[in-house]
Structure 1
Amino acid sequence: MATATATAMLVSSLTTNLWRPAKLHPKTPSLIRRRELVAFKFKPWESRKHVSKKSGFNFAAARRNSSSTSSNTDMSVPELDDNIRKVLQFVLWATEGVYIVWLFLLPYAPGDPVWAISSDTINSLVGLSLNFFFVLPLMNSVGIRLIDAPVLHPMSEGLFNFVIGWTLMFAPLLFTDLKRDRYKGSLDLLWGFQMFLTNTFLIPYMAIRLNKPDTNYTPRKASQLRSTMVNGATVVGVVGGAVCVISILWALFGRSDGDFGGVKDRLEFLVSYLVSERLAYGFIWDICLYVVFQPWLIGENLENVEKGKVDLVKYLRFLPVFGLVAYLVCLDVDEEV
């Protein structure tokens, strides 16, 4: 009986000393003491759970920030299948080669090549430039004659200003293109050359924007031209669209006091103009390319449009000129694009 009592007291003493973290008896074995010290370094369960929750919150916030950052770059833009991308790039670069060689260099297209351009073509180009957006003719018509507008065939003036008005509206579209940063050059210069030197510069852009996204992407600071064009996209769309409509009306009915005939006569002139002048022939190429590029670019940038108008722009984008007007008028300029 005494032996059993002594054994029970010994077991009770060992158990009490083993699980008491605040006080270690000097006679406790060293192995047990080390175990107690190591165990004592861990934080209680509630504290560990609190830290875990906090870490989870930070991780989720970091993911949201990362997602927000990536949405401002072209990394969020859906990518084409690699084979389709390569085929499209090949077609675009081939088109650029044909455009330059056929329209500028070879003598087989209607009119004169660049290296043999006639003085009549140069005079016509200067006159069309002076009648840019019909400013001088309209000023002269109301008695304002700072400079007398050159008198050219209204069909040639209408065709020239129609293409220029359409080109004007491409500026906000290019400046809001989600893939614009794959083009490493200046978009200001590219659009300026496009505005005054035709589609020679837009075709390469369409090919370059199909490159794979740059993993070392650095957002480019917006230029003054880009800010102006994007913030004033509605005005650009209205002005550009109005110029295109006026150009058609001018071509058919403008300069009615001149000896340019009726609508039938003007259409006959248009046919002869296209088959005899390289400039007019080039404008037809530009119109055909715009018919393709406009819905292509708008379709890949629908997320820039105001949410309630996406479906409208999605279908209108196939209408030449008017689809681009719809995109610019419905552009959500408050979004960072």
Structure 2
Amino acid sequence: MSKTPNFLCYATRRKPPIEPDTNTISSAEEGNDNARKVVQVILWVVEGVYILWLFLLPYAPGDPVWAISSETVNSLIGLSLNFFLILPFINSVGIRLIDAPVLHPMSEGLFNFVIGWTFMFAPLLFTDCKRDRYRWSLDVLWGFQMFLTNTFLIPYMAIRLNEADSSYTPRKRSQLGTIMTNGAPIVGLIGGAACLISVLWALFGRIDGNFGSIADRCEFLVSYLLSERLAYAFIWDICLYIIFQPWLIGENLQNVQKSKVDLINYFRFVPVVGLVAYLLCLNLDEEL
């Protein structure tokens, strides 16, 4: 009589699901919250230093705002009249409704380079995912930024780090915000062209104006930065924009066309170019 073989089934006991360590999660959240608060404090300190050092104290190159010279005022008026170098170019083709002030091309180039970069920040601010944490008008903020640059952008960068308020109803985007967002590619092209032309103008503009060679112009730039408060402040602005541009773009990559996200994530660190690329690659088919 043959024996039937016994087939034994050794079933393994199912392991219970791993529960997330709430202590670890809460510690990570607390660490992120502490880091956020530290960054906020740093930004407010930078704002205080920016205002004190560049506007009020007499120790930086040039005159503080309370002792500004008439020469500096005249220079600022002249630079403003030559905004985006429109007036000099109009004069060059024979249209002379107003004669463009003749200033050193290096000072004009530096001024318009910073203004062109600032101009492109408008669509970036209006598409920022954290813009609603700033309860005041973004139109006014950007308008003041065009004239006083980081005096108003630094506080925005600090305020946008506030905790989100679930009870707050997001505002409808303003007419200016809608225009700047829908026209972001055009803004990028205009601002990028302004920055490029400003660099070329600084190096080669007013060839017949006895402003010297490129070496002479670079020598003037150094002396200009070390003697004029406005020029000195622009260097601060450029350094801060180099930080703020990749920061803001990096937190808003979801606004970019999906096929271009990796490209923008790389180019966001390139001054000016990264912002132009972001504006050209915005996904305007979705609500931003």
* Aligned residue number for residue 132 of structure 1: 83
Unaligned stretches of 5+ in structure 2?
1-28
1:215 lines up with 2:170 in the alignment: no
Bigger RCO (CA 8 Å, 6+ sep): 2
* Aligned residue number for residue 179 of structure 2: 228
Q: Classify 1:79/1:285 alpha carbon distance in 2 versus 1 (closer, same or farther; 3 Å).
A: farther
Residue 217 (structure 1) shift:
2.4
**Partner Cα separation in structure 1 for residue 75 and residue 259 of structure 2:** 46
- Code of the residue aligned with 1:170 in structure 2: it is F
Residue 197 (structure 1) shift:
1.4
1:289 lines up with 2:240 in the alignment: yes
1:104 lines up with 2:55 in the alignment: yes
Q: Classify 1:335/1:324 alpha carbon distance in 2 versus 1 (closer, same or farther; 3 Å).
A: same
Secondary structure class of the residue paired with 1:89:
helix
**Partner Cα separation in structure 2 for residue 149 and residue 280 of structure 1:** 20
Q: Of 192, 210, 215, which residue of structure 2 is paired with 1:259?
A: 210
* Aligned residue number for residue 259 of structure 2: 308
Instruction: Find runs of 4+ consecutive structure 1 residues off by over 6 angstroms.
Output: none
1:196 lines up with 2:196 in the alignment: no
Identity of aligned residues (%): 77
Secondary structure class of the residue paired with 2:149:
helix
**Partner Cα separation in structure 2 for residue 221 and residue 292 of structure 1:** 29
* Aligned residue number for residue 319 of structure 1: 270
Tell me the TM-score normalised to structure 1 length.
0.76
1:149 lines up with 2:111 in the alignment: no
RMSD: 1.2
- Code of the residue aligned with 2:269 in structure 1: it is F
Q: Classify 1:173/1:138 alpha carbon distance in 2 versus 1 (closer, same or farther; 3 Å).
A: same
- Code of the residue aligned with 1:175 in structure 2: it is F
Tell me the TM-score normalised to structure 2 length.
0.89
- Code of the residue aligned with 2:221 in structure 1: it is L
Q: Classify 1:79/1:229 alpha carbon distance in 2 versus 1 (closer, same or farther; 3 Å).
A: farther
- Code of the residue aligned with 2:82 in structure 1: it is N
**Partner Cα separation in structure 2 for residue 152 and residue 219 of structure 1:** 46
Residue 221 (structure 1) shift:
1.1
**Partner Cα separation in structure 1 for residue 169 and residue 184 of structure 2:** 25
* Aligned residue number for residue 205 of structure 1: 156
**Partner Cα separation in structure 2 for residue 210 and residue 148 of structure 1:** 46
* Aligned residue number for residue 276 of structure 1: 227
